[in-house]
Structure 1
Amino acid sequence: MTGLFVTLDGPGGAGKSTLVCLVTELLTESGHPVLTTRQPSDGPLGVIARHQSATFTGMSLACLVAADRYHHLATEIQPALDAGQLVLCDRYVLSSYVLQYLDGVPLEYIRRLNAPALRPALAIIASAAPDVLEQRLASRGAHSRFEHPGSSDAENRLYATLIEEFAEDGFLPYQVDTGEESPQVAARAIADHVRALWSRR
């Protein structure tokens, strides 16, 4: 049995972690075998990428994140999919397109670096109005050097600008607005969409 791979990306402050928790809860309640994970991963490479983004920049960070991604795919994601699980990943390739580009890496290099990565059945992009994102970031604090005043607006605009590139590269985006809708409403919409994909897999 083949599982289902779903990813969730979006700018800082979009509520990705909250959505992952809510969607996981909804899908688990309906009997789906969900594995929740994230990138950078909790493996050795992922820990370095997550906690030392101030040390590694540009090309070196892009390569480190990609190396963690391929190790994560081989050791956790693909085995879970082969076992028939529904894998929900907090951040994936689309975050690399946006963050590494903002970090000065040419987009074409990022695309080639991530070309062999497994494509998800569903690539969710969470977003909200710039003022909402900024307010949330100010409230919870920055998680890395990528989060600073104005960063969410730059991320938001880049996600919108790169929609065609995402689709060309095999990532079919499903967009949700976490500013207009409550997290619970957005999570229910995502869970319904995932259930429909699960039933057709």
Structure 2
Amino acid sequence: MAGLFLTLEGLDGSGKSTQAGLLRAFLEERGLRAVLTREPGGGLPEVRDLLLGGELSPEAEYLLFSADRAEHVRRVILPSLERGAWVVSDRYLDSSLAYQGFGRGLPLAWLLEVAKEATLGLTPRLTFLLDLPPEEALRRVKDPDRLEREGLAFFQRVREGYLFLAEREPHRFVVLDARRSVAEVAEEIRARLLPLLP
């Protein structure tokens, strides 16, 4: 495929959405076609409110994320990549592994088995993990949704999950200190991308 798939991950409040928008603008400034998308809701927008507002079992929660992701991959990400666009996604599969796997305690083997079909095996070229202590992340969240109200211990497990995933795939993950300024984080993301730019 002519395009390139990039994702941003991290705890709520880490600045992912801000950096995703800045990254798309940077790519467009370089003359590249860029598509900005997000999960949940990238494939099935109506699922977002249910996932962030309803009461669900951990299994149902993950399966809904996976249904949304399956449509996201098929409707948005793959067609954009095939057209030669660079796709920037605010969250992807690593969010589910961290939140539903490490946070909720669902078995990683099952999560990955479901994900294999949902994603058609599509993996990002680079994943920027905006790492932030959970205490700071919770302070930054102003209007918490259902997941953001889970409390400190939950977010500590999610952060540990993210760092585990990053350690397991160091060739894909770029871990960034999200305590720094927006400008500093954006500059490091751009520096890491320069070798990939045409």
Please tell me the TM-score bracket, short chain as reference.
0.7 to 0.9
Q: Which moved more, 1:78-87 or 1:19-28?
A: 19-28
Unaligned 5+ residue runs, structure 1? none
- Partner secondary structure for residue 84 of structure 1: coil
Q: Which runs of 4+ in 1 moved over 6 A?
A: none
Q: Which residue of 2 aligns with 1:143?
A: 145
Q: Is the 8 A contact 1:99 1:146 kept in 2?
A: no
Alpha-carbon distance in structure 2 between the residues aligned to 1:195 and 1:41:
30
Q: Which moved more, 1:147-156 or 1:118-127?
A: 147-156
Alpha-carbon distance in structure 2 between the residues aligned to 1:185 and 1:27:
17
Unaligned 5+ residue runs, structure 2? none
Q: Which residue of 1 aligns with 2:172?
A: 172
Q: Which moved more, 1:8-17 or 1:19-28?
A: 19-28
Q: Which moved more, 1:68-77 or 1:89-98?
A: 68-77
Q: CA deviation at 1:47?
A: 2.6
Q: Which residue of 2 aligns with 1:123?
A: 127
Alpha-carbon distance in structure 1 between the residues aligned to 2:166 and 2:81:
26
- Partner secondary structure for residue 116 of structure 2: coil
- Partner secondary structure for residue 141 of structure 1: coil
Alpha-carbon distance in structure 2 between the residues aligned to 1:28 and 1:80:
15
Q: Which moved more, 1:111-120 or 1:149-158?
A: 149-158
- Partner secondary structure for residue 114 of structure 1: helix
Q: RMSD of aligned C-alpha atoms? A: 2.1
Q: Which residue of 2 aligns with 1:114?
A: 115
Q: Which moved more, 1:108-117 or 1:88-97?
A: 108-117
**Percent of residue pairs identical:** 28
Q: Is the 8 A contact 2:11 2:134 kept in 1?
A: no
Q: CA deviation at 1:42?
A: 4.0
Q: CA deviation at 1:80?
A: 0.6
Does residue 79 of structure 1 match 2:79? yes
- Partner secondary structure for residue 115 of structure 1: helix
Task: State the TM-score, normalizing by the size of structure 1.
Answer: 0.85
Q: CA deviation at 1:159?
A: 1.3
Q: Which residue of 2 aligns with 1:191?
A: 190
Q: Which residue of 1 aligns with 2:59?
A: 59
Count of aligned pairs between the two proteins: 191
Task: State the TM-score, normalizing by the size of structure 2.
Answer: 0.86
Change (3 A) 1:195 1:143: farther
**Among candidates 131, 138, 159, match of residue 134 of structure 1:** 138
Alpha-carbon distance in structure 2 between the residues aligned to 1:198 and 1:62:
34
Q: Which residue of 1 aligns with 2:158?
A: 155
Q: CA deviation at 1:146?
A: 4.0
The one-character-per-residue Cα deviations of 1:58-106 (angstroms, maximum 9, x if unpaired) are 1112111112111111111111101100000000010010111223421
Q: Which residue of 2 aligns with 1:36?
A: 36
